[in-house]
Structure 1
Amino acid sequence: MTTTSTPSPTTAELGLTGPLIDGTWRNKTSVGAVDHINPATGHVNGSVLLSGPQEVDDAVAAARAAHPEWRAMSPALRRRILQRIEELMLEHVPDLGRLTTLEIGAPLTLSSALAHLCAGWFGYYAGWADKIEGLTSPSNPVMVPGLGYTVPEPYGVVGIILTWNGPVMSTGMKIAPALAAGNCVVVKSPDLAPFAVARFGEIALEAGLPPGVMHILPGGPEAGDHLVRHPDVDMISFTGGIPTAQKILDAARHTLKPVLLELGGKTASVVFPDADLDAAVAETVRSCMTLAGQGCNLSTRLLVHRDVYDEVVRAAAAAAAAVTVGDPFAQTTTLGPVIGPAARDRILGVIDQAADSGRVVAGGHAVIPSSLPAQVQGGYFVEPTVLADVDPGSEVARHEVFGPVLCVIPFDSEDEAVELANSTPYGLGAVLYTRDVTRVQRLVPRFQAGTVHVNGASGQPASAPFGGYKHSGHGREGGKEGLYEFLQTKNVFIRA
């Protein structure tokens, strides 16, 4: 365990985080302020001014007014603004990383890496801003001769609902392509993680983004519901859980607006005997424990051929035991706290229930070591946990734990491996470990997942589309597909 003292935020650093509407930070809202708790310490970070329906109305009205000018702006100028956002974000990676660690407890090394990665998304979509093109379509010269072509156009005002477990990363995945496509955005930032997104808002304004183009509203479910239902919001992009997504779809039906959903996952790493077992175990455990397991596309199931099952279980238990849990500001820490006491207690309950039918071979408890500094002892830490012999039909094997819990399950054949990998309601990702190229060709088409990695993950580059099958949502973020989610196509025909 590390013993580096977690620094306390200063008033100047956090202030009173509130809504950014039309370029102005409001110091009073219709809802009022709440305290934000640091999950690593249990102490108050600062106050958050929450937004309500009134703030949503004001932001949407300002975005609607700003949209004609933003849409008409030279694509080259939009490109330069987004490039400048990338440049400033890279300069402020230390700020963004520190704020992310303070608000969600992610290890500082991870928080800084995510901020750096997000900056790259703005650079990537800056490159698309002046390359949005339509197609010509052939006409029938005998019936009606003429010229047909398509014009991709922005929706107008896009409502963006960010997730608390990676808010800065989500700004790149959602805001960057929406702006590059010519939309204005109203962003509901999470009340559990408002500070880094607020800092991003300051960076965007400094980069020259016109004040009415982006608005940031920290808030809870009421603000999100009003944003979805608002008749002047043309599209919604949401990342989060299935229950909230169902509520969003129900609210969106009143205005029939499109909704992009990036939801949960239960990614399986599928390991065959011919794989590099050391690499497969190390990468799977590292993935599962990233952000204390609080991520949608982390490898939380380890499906292992029975011939090497016992060996892999032992290796996974050893790898989990070697994970460094502690102060997220320490450079050696790789696993910080979960987001709060309710999450910690829920995760421990899942582990206890799973232990009735399987084996806990590593972890399984809350961590409150006396060796840690006093301010860290109030945090919400869970040991990296490995469960072996897990029933594939059990709750822990089929649904998200959203905690540092890895399920290990044996299989005997390729068909069984695929069946197990596809046996959950989710379809976000899968990882296949094998040296057999023909097996790769056989199995990859059979995985019901939006992303399939072979012998290791890609790190989610901005150029690659990301999204899910089944209950993991619909739509894509990243790549050309992610840009065109924020565009609608107009068909034009000019008669000869």
Structure 2
Amino acid sequence: MTMQPGFADLALPDLRLRVGDDILPATGAVDVEDPSTGATVAQVPLAGDTAVDAAVAAARAALVAPAWRDLAPLARERLLHRLADAMEADLPRLAALEALDTGKPLTMAETVDIPSAIAWLRCYAGWPSKLAGRAGTLSATPGDYHVYTRREPVGVVAAITPWNFPLVLAMWKIAPALAAGCTLILKPAAETPLSALRLAELARAVGFPPGVFTVLTGDGATGAALSRHPGVAKVAFTGSTATGGAILAASVPDFKRVTLELGGKSPSIVCADADLAKAIPQVAMGCFFNSGQICYAGSRAYVHRSIYDQVLDGLADVGAALRLGPSADRESQLGPLVSARQQARVAGFVARARDAGIAAVERRVTLPETGHFLAPTVLRDVPPDAEVAREEVFGPVLAVTAFDDLDEAIALSNDSAYGLAAHVWTRDHATAHHAAARLEAGTVFANCILVADPAFPFGGMKASGIGRENGSEVLDAYLEPKSVIMAL
């Protein structure tokens, strides 16, 4: 096992399979690879059914134990803030673990990933003392009654998270679930478990009771075992639409609550009046950021025909100017794809598009000699029925098509199984509002890209998911309302 030179002194977290105060045997091991080099940097235990049973039992016990159940809301807030404080103090190490694990540039992990995870935790740390029911009167029933509602934690939550933003997307689930008083078992992606394991260490250090927050490493079978476990009340999942469908099916026997944040094929509409000095670089980075490994990446671009060639050239120029390099190199702007399998999958989309006669806007890009790198690629004149226009590629591949009027662009945008996000570039606010009302997407961005914030809900329509993350809306996914009707 070898490290990049920039990570030679990086201390890995405790890699053992830990549930509460117990260390459990694993059913195997999963290799953790550095995508920048292809080298194995760690092996983490594979949690089988026995470990899943133990984790669920510990979470169920913690849910009703006085140390967690009876913790005053302000005390729970202080505990969550202590975890955020510990993450801030540990930021350099967390960022290095995230960069090593995912291949993303270390500077990005330091300035985007870890600060965002901390911000989400601090935001939801303020909620426990604000979660309350309401009192009222019956409106159709005669008699004298005292009526009120309670909001109680849904129970044990299984959070199953992806590899593109491991700690951020885990925190989208951890923070509101713990704020609501639930207990949570996190199953990180097999490719990227290191930051989650370090987070578990920090949670133990700041005083979270055993069983409240558990990390189980493993593969898809581990996640499937959690999804169907009768002791799990809710599954919160971010990942592929196919896996989300399997989780939804597994929820049926026990009527589990689920939130699913799934795939996307988000369009960017560039109108004739767009400010191209801003639109071109941002449309490009809306697809190429994090090497295209973003669920709501703007991977389809519809550009008004009057500016089509200018925008095409500009998009290709932005992609070609980005420096691709290993995660430890502070000059790197884009890292590799997360694995050899993902690199081959994305390259396959490009190859099949070329075979179908779709041309790329050619630019010379130098790739590192090792690692799972792929050059940013701009495909032009992509037919609406092309595979690359309809399927989620999850890589730095932008499919571009010309349009003649806004209605056509909106129709093309909505002609998709997905509905996670959409982008509109125009100087005219009426045009932006008109498009936002008609686009079938959970989030519409006007003259900006990739904004996510804990204050506003995030999620998708159609095959892009069920339910919402973030905002106050996400708390409803972790709380059960209970009505209490008392005859006086």
Q: Spell out, residue by residue over 1:293-329, the C-alpha distance to the aligned partner (whole angstroms, 9 max, x if none).
A: 1110111111111111111001111111111111222
* Distance in 2, Cα, partners of 1:364 & 1:135: 63
Provide the secondary structure at the position in 2 that maps to 1:14: coil
Change (3 A) 1:110 1:8: closer
Measure how far apart 1:495 and its partner are: 2.0
Change (3 A) 1:134 1:393: same
Aligned to 1:379: 371
2:394 to 402, 427, 438: 402
Aligned to 2:157: 158
Measure how far apart 1:172 and its partner are: 1.5
2:81 matches 1:89: no
Instruction: State the number of aligned residues.
Output: 482
Provide the secondary structure at the position in 1 that maps to 2:216: strand
Q: Report if aligned partners of 2:269, 2:424 keep a CA contact under 8 Å in 1.
A: yes
Q: Report if aligned partners of 1:101, 1:111 keep a CA contact under 8 Å in 2.
A: yes
Q: Report if aligned partners of 2:77, 2:128 keep a CA contact under 8 Å in 1.
A: yes
2:240 matches 1:241: yes
Q: Spell out, residue by residue over 1:48-93, the C-alpha distance to the aligned partner (whole angstroms, 9 max, x if none).
A: 1111111111111111111113232111111001111111112212
Scaled by the length of structure 2, the TM-score of the pair is 0.95
Equivalent residue runs for 1:296-311 within 5 Å: 296-311=295-310
Aligned to 2:99: 101
Q: Report if aligned partners of 1:40, 1:105 keep a CA contact under 8 Å in 2.
A: yes
* Distance in 2, Cα, partners of 1:97 & 1:222: 28
Measure how far apart 1:171 and its partner are: 2.3
1:67 to 63, 70, 74: 63
2:23 matches 1:31: no
* Distance in 1, Cα, partners of 2:456 & 2:374: 33
2:330 matches 1:331: yes
* Distance in 2, Cα, partners of 1:142 & 1:404: 60
Aligned to 1:357: 357
2:438 matches 1:446: yes
* Distance in 2, Cα, partners of 1:212 & 1:364: 53
Change (3 A) 1:6 1:495: same
Query: Match of 1:46, as an amino acid?
Result: A
Change (3 A) 1:23 1:386: farther
Q: CA RMSD in A?
A: 1.8
Aligned to 2:448: 456
* Distance in 2, Cα, partners of 1:363 & 1:18: 46
Q: Report if aligned partners of 1:15, 1:47 keep a CA contact under 8 Å in 2.
A: no
* Distance in 2, Cα, partners of 1:130 & 1:231: 30
Identity, in percent, stands at: 38
Measure how far apart 1:135 and its partner are: 2.4
2:203 matches 1:207: no
Change (3 A) 1:185 1:368: same
Scaled by the length of structure 1, the TM-score of the pair is 0.93
2:184 matches 1:185: yes
Contiguous gaps of at least 5 residues in structure 2: none
Measure how far apart 1:32 and its partner are: 2.1
Provide the secondary structure at the position in 2 that maps to 1:463: coil
2:45 to 49, 59, 63: 49
Contiguous gaps of at least 5 residues in structure 1: 370-376
Q: Report if aligned partners of 2:297, 2:450 keep a CA contact under 8 Å in 1.
A: no
Q: Report if aligned partners of 2:60, 2:231 keep a CA contact under 8 Å in 1.
A: yes
Provide the secondary structure at the position in 2 that maps to 1:233: coil
* Distance in 1, Cα, partners of 2:141 & 2:443: 46
* Distance in 1, Cα, partners of 2:71 & 2:316: 56
Query: Match of 1:310, as an amino acid?
Result: D
Q: Spell out, residue by residue over 1:7-32, the C-alpha distance to the aligned partner (whole angstroms, 9 max, x if none).
A: 3455x7126623231145x3x52312
2:18 to 12, 17, 20: 20
Query: Match of 1:277, as an amino acid?
Result: L
Provide the secondary structure at the position in 2 that maps to 1:361: coil
* Distance in 2, Cα, partners of 1:381 & 1:430: 27
* Distance in 1, Cα, partners of 2:151 & 2:485: 14
Aligned to 1:373: none
Aligned to 2:219: 220
Q: Report if aligned partners of 1:293, 1:402 keep a CA contact under 8 Å in 2.
A: yes
2:315 matches 1:316: yes
Measure how far apart 1:368 and its partner are: 4.7
Change (3 A) 1:321 1:150: same
